[in-house]
Structure 1
Amino acid sequence: MQSVTMIGIDLGKHSFHVHGQDRVAKAVFCKKSSRKQLLEFFATFHPCTVVMEACAGAHWMARKIGAFGHIVKLISPHFVRPFVKSNKNDFVDAEAICEAASRPSMRFVTPKTESQQTLLALHRVRQAFVRDRVRTTNQMHGFLLEFGISLPVGHAVVKRLPSVLAEHPLPPRLVTIFEQLHAHFKYLSEQIRDIEKEIERQLADDPIGQRLLTIPGVGPITASLLASELGDGKQYRCSRDFSASVGLVPRQYSTGGKSNLLGISKRGDKNIRHLLVQCARAFMLRLDKQHGRIADWTRAMLARRHSSVVACALASKLARVAWALVSHDTVFERQASVAAA
């Protein structure tokens, strides 16, 4: 056992499959254990490199095993898949994790802290409530349209639903359904407001989030999510690496020395990418009131490119600015525009 230098773990809900190998990548042991047995094993094992896939429960397990003095690394699952040999099983997956981690060019995922995971959970709950509210609104619009009542698009007009029901004769049972949907809509709106207030309170105590709020177009929701995702930003080599990690750079399909760039890659966290694009669109809507180099660059891009293309390009620029502010411990300063200079 003393010859073991790297251990790969295939994580499961109740059972965990472990593959240990020496410095020449020769298998030393393979074992299956429960969660309690796994933690007891690493508590008494000599310090080595432990590698897991970045999946459910991986960040908690990384913190636990790291507390025992081991070096813990997380790998994105799609980087492990090419190293799976022949038929797939849990022990083969653990061996493939070790094989992938031994590659010198492999990219790893930084384990998240408890506060980062808590904040991400808050964002996921808010996102689920928003989806439910949209579904509830669409149901009310659809049911009313079935009875010849057309309301403007959006959930703001749903607040006028009681007056709409009073103006139009509808079956009593249908009115009861609308009242239940309207009560559910109000409940979801209250929950979303409470979560947003909690996010703003946490953001007020986060210096990184306060610096991210100085970026034009970035609001509290985007700033708090970027703060939880970036951390100190040291896991990315440069700003373009972070932009690429959230899928805001062109996808390449180049061959024969000829470069062929397609649309954005859409990799990484979909929610962060969506929020950054929305921030870019909010900035573009108020472009006539904006100043500085980013505003001048956006105006020049809009003169020759479609607004959707400019929105994605501006979102990538905002992601790079966010990484620069976090990694260099600074705030965004609006430079004078080129025309003014």
Structure 2
Amino acid sequence: MNIARIGVDLAKQVFQVHGVDRTEKVLVRRQLRRSQMLDYFSKLTPCLIGMEACGSAHYWARELSKLGHEVRLMAPQFVKPYVKSGKNDVNDAEAICEAVGRPNMRFVAIKTAEQQVIQAEHRIRARLIKSRTALSNEIRGLLAEFGIVVATSIGRLRKALPELLEDGENGLSGSFRVLLAGLGEELRALDDSIAAFDARIAQTAREDDRIRRLLEVEGIGPVTASALVTAVGNGTQFNSGRDMSAWLGLTPRQYSSGGKNRLGGISKRGDKYMRMLLIHGARAALNAAKNKEDGRSRWVKSLAARRNKNIATVALANKNARIAWSILSRGESYKKAA
């Protein structure tokens, strides 16, 4: 069979394959078990293979690339318009095969195993932080039932817990003190786990030249820099810094029609975690700019005065994303504004 293009609908155990030749004639429409995938594709002449960028997609992209195939991943929302009729595995595989052949299709860069390891670290760390926030809110809520209000700050809560346990005049019963002590130990355990992940990320930052160069940008720390490298690699899949900023959802959403351009708030598309890190870093950089007089600091302070701090923060996050693209894609170092 002279197959030119294949669409693969990924799943946990059963995969749907749809292949066509150069005249768009359907040559393959079949199911494959997970154990049959590599054996089947190893017997095919190298061709173009399309898949949605979903769970396990990067693994299969790496494995099929080793067999000599050209593998391209696409965001599911870009494949959806090509689905004919109802949704099922057969139609999905056909839509993927059709979409991957479009000349203007946007593709997702294939992550290396090392990138996915760092990405796993970030995801686990984010889950631990979410759990710590939930636990601290639970502790404050339980204390409020006994008339004790602790300020909304994890640092203040850490400081308050030992004092509350030692204070014999605050009206807390012995049984509740036991519960409170257990919650305090759980909070400390989460702190220790998060600190361990922070140390791992910091170690990765010291070993990777790309991350070290990103750290020179005000508003980008080790966590943000390593997350950026994990998410976009060298950034060469984007034609410009604005394209990467748009992918991160930091550019205005358009409502344009009939020659009238209407721009709203940021689109909030793409990687939510990465956008959050850039905005938090930009907020810290904006606060630090109060005591600086370089060109970048003057610009962001002027913007904050004319508009408001939130707009200035997002604008600075947008600028940092563009600078990060330039650093990663061109191998440059950051040049600080005079």
Interval containing the TM-score (normalised by the shorter chain): over 0.9
Mapping 1:44-83, distance limit 5 Å: 44-83=43-82
Q: Provide the C-alpha distance between the structure 1 equivalents of 2:270 and 2:59, rounded to a whole number of angstroms.
A: 20
Counterpart in the other structure of 1:248:
250
Which sits farther off after the overlay, 248-257 or 151-160?
151-160
Cα offsets for 1:292-321 (capped at 9, x unmatched): 332122122122112111111111000000
Cα offsets for 1:191-243 (capped at 9, x unmatched): 00000001111111100000000001211100111111221121110110000
Which sits farther off after the overlay, 290-299 or 81-90?
290-299
Match of 2:186 among 167, 174, 184: 184
* Deviation of the 1:153 alpha carbon: 1.5
Counterpart in the other structure of 1:42:
41
Q: Provide the C-alpha distance between the structure 2 equivalents of 1:44 and 1:26, rounded to a whole number of angstroms.
A: 20
Counterpart in the other structure of 2:129:
130
Q: Does 1:315 align with 2:317?
A: yes
Q: CA RMSD in A?
A: 1.0
- Structure 1: stretches of 5+ with no match in the other structure: 337-341
Q: Does 1:205 align with 2:204?
A: no
* Deviation of the 1:158 alpha carbon: 2.3
Mapping 1:143-222, distance limit 5 Å: 143-160=142-159, 161-167=161-167, 168-222=170-224
The answer to whether the 8 Å contact 2:255/2:262 transfers is yes
The letter for the 2-side match of 1:154 is S
- Structure 2: stretches of 5+ with no match in the other structure: none
Cα offsets for 1:134-178 (capped at 9, x unmatched): 111001101101100111221112223122123223122221211
The answer to whether the 8 Å contact 1:151/1:157 transfers is yes
Q: Provide the C-alpha distance between the structure 1 equivalents of 2:275 and 2:20, rounded to a whole number of angstroms.
A: 38
Counterpart in the other structure of 1:110:
109
What secondary structure is seen at the aligned counterpart in 1 of 2:178?
Answer: helix
What secondary structure is seen at the aligned counterpart in 1 of 2:50?
Answer: strand
Q: Provide the C-alpha distance between the structure 2 equivalents of 1:296 and 1:205, rounded to a whole number of angstroms.
A: 33
Counterpart in the other structure of 1:331:
333
The answer to whether the 8 Å contact 2:250/2:314 transfers is yes
What secondary structure is seen at the aligned counterpart in 2 of 1:72?
Answer: strand
The letter for the 2-side match of 1:7 is I
What secondary structure is seen at the aligned counterpart in 1 of 2:17?
Answer: strand
Q: Provide the C-alpha distance between the structure 1 equivalents of 2:48 and 2:63, rounded to a whole number of angstroms.
A: 14
What secondary structure is seen at the aligned counterpart in 1 of 2:217?
Answer: coil
The answer to whether the 8 Å contact 1:42/1:68 transfers is yes
Counterpart in the other structure of 2:234:
232
- Count of aligned pairs between the two proteins: 335
Q: Provide the C-alpha distance between the structure 2 equivalents of 1:196 and 1:267, rounded to a whole number of angstroms.
A: 27
What secondary structure is seen at the aligned counterpart in 2 of 1:111?
Answer: coil
Counterpart in the other structure of 1:292:
294
Q: Provide the C-alpha distance between the structure 1 equivalents of 2:106 and 2:256, rounded to a whole number of angstroms.
A: 22
Match of 1:280 among 279, 282, 286: 282
Q: Provide the C-alpha distance between the structure 2 equivalents of 1:299 and 1:181, rounded to a whole number of angstroms.
A: 42
The letter for the 1-side match of 2:284 is A
What secondary structure is seen at the aligned counterpart in 2 of 1:151?
Answer: coil
The normalised TM-score by structure 2 is 0.97
Q: Provide the C-alpha distance between the structure 1 equivalents of 2:298 and 2:25, rounded to a whole number of angstroms.
A: 58
Q: Provide the C-alpha distance between the structure 2 equivalents of 1:31 and 1:114, rounded to a whole number of angstroms.
A: 29
The letter for the 2-side match of 1:18 is V
What secondary structure is seen at the aligned counterpart in 2 of 1:28?
Answer: strand
The answer to whether the 8 Å contact 1:291/1:334 transfers is no
Counterpart in the other structure of 2:14:
15
Cα offsets for 1:117-142 (capped at 9, x unmatched): 00000000000000011111001101
The letter for the 2-side match of 1:166 is E
The letter for the 1-side match of 2:156 is V
Cα offsets for 1:69-119 (capped at 9, x unmatched): 000000000111111111110010000011111221110001100000000
Q: Provide the C-alpha distance between the structure 2 equivalents of 1:81 and 1:172, rounded to a whole number of angstroms.
A: 59
The answer to whether the 8 Å contact 1:8/1:51 transfers is yes
The answer to whether the 8 Å contact 2:7/2:93 transfers is yes
Counterpart in the other structure of 2:270:
268
What secondary structure is seen at the aligned counterpart in 1 of 2:135?
Answer: helix
Q: Percent same amino acid among aligned pairs?
A: 41
Q: Provide the C-alpha distance between the structure 1 equivalents of 2:295 and 2:68, rounded to a whole number of angstroms.
A: 47
The answer to whether the 8 Å contact 2:215/2:225 transfers is yes
Q: Provide the C-alpha distance between the structure 1 equivalents of 2:102 and 2:255, rounded to a whole number of angstroms.
A: 23
